[in-house]
Amino acid sequence: MLKGKSAVVTGSTSGIGLGIARALAREGANIMLNGFGDAAEIEKIRSSLAEEAGVKVLYDGADMSKGDAVEAFIKKAEDALGGVDILVNNAGIQFVSPVEEFPEAKWTAIQNIILNSSFHGIKAALPGMKKRNWGRIINLVSAHGLVASPFKSAYVSAKHGQIGLTKTVALEVAESNITVNAICPGYVRTPLVEGQIDDQAKVHNMPRDKVIREVILASQPNKRFIEIEEVAALAVFLCGEMAKSITGTAIAIDGGWTAR
């Protein structure tokens, strides 16, 4: 479906980002991976994905917290892959604190890595998309782009901002055959969340299954994790021809969380 297209996925050395990169590669897209991690492990991921999907897979460890690094990263991807047809802004971090105690450095870091990197990536990728008269931009947001939770002021603010950015850019490029959408998952079973389960089990002195149901998934009515493959499948659909009229939307995939 995406043979001949090239995709950049930020924060894609693990978790949701890697799942989306894999799904796009299986559809024939060349991939530029990005993220932090052990160099040998990242190379193993890159080479195995290239071999499995039969596409070109590259990696660049650009720091998404720095605007000039993001723009240089997009330029590198364009030069190496012949263009950036698909941009998935997935990089993110989290920090939890009451707002009056929230460290300013953490606030700034979260805005830089989530919201500002999305802006810089889109700004850098759009000229090429417009020139080719085709593009797909997906901002990987969160249910927290639609609703709030206490103690997550920076994250919720950045994610709400991503949805505003999604809508604005979608309107600006509506006649250029470029779509811009946000995917808003609830809790997804990732290595990061698995670690949170263990931490919460210790804090609350509760068994893992009870932590999952009563703490982690308390806001998620279906009481099950979203699977990475579900999010990746939605991303692939949004990149396809049958989604060409879906733009400027924030699509929840959250087990009913935001239906409350």
Residue 155 designated active-site:
yes
Q: In this model, does residue 204 exceed pLDDT 90?
A: no
Please provide the DSSP assignment of 184-230 as one string.
EE--B--HHHHHHHHHHHHHHT--HHHHIIIIITTT-TT-SPBPHHH
pLDDT number for residue 28: 98
The closest alpha carbon to 8, from 53, 72, 67, belongs to 72
In tens, the pLDDT along 26-82 reads: 999 999 999 999 999 999 999 999 999 999 999 999 999 999 999 999 999 999 999
Q: In this model, does residue 163 exceed pLDDT 80?
A: yes
Sequence-ordered list of residues with C-beta below 8 angstroms from that of 108, at least 6 positions apart, any chain: none
pLDDT number for residue 91: 97
User: For residue 38, how many other CB atoms are within 10 A of its CB?
Assistant: 9
Question: What's the per-residue H, E or C state across 96-165?
Answer: CCCHHHCCHHHHHHHHHHHHHHHHHHHHHHHHHHHHHCCEEEEEECCHHHCCCCCCCHHHHHHHHHHHHH
Torsion over CA: 127, 162, 155, 35 (sign): negative
From 59, 73, 155, 187, active-site residue:
155
Mean residue pLDDT of the chain comes to 96
In tens, the pLDDT along 99-118 reads: 999 999 999 999 999 999 99
pLDDT number for residue 215: 87
Domain ranges of the chain: 6-186+227-253, 189-225
pLDDT number for residue 227: 96
Q: In this model, does residue 198 exceed pLDDT 90?
A: no
> For domain 6-186+227-253, is the CATH number 3.40.50.720?
yes
pLDDT number for residue 87: 99
pLDDT number for residue 199: 79
In tens, the pLDDT along 228-260 reads: 999 999 999 999 999 999 999 999 999 999 998
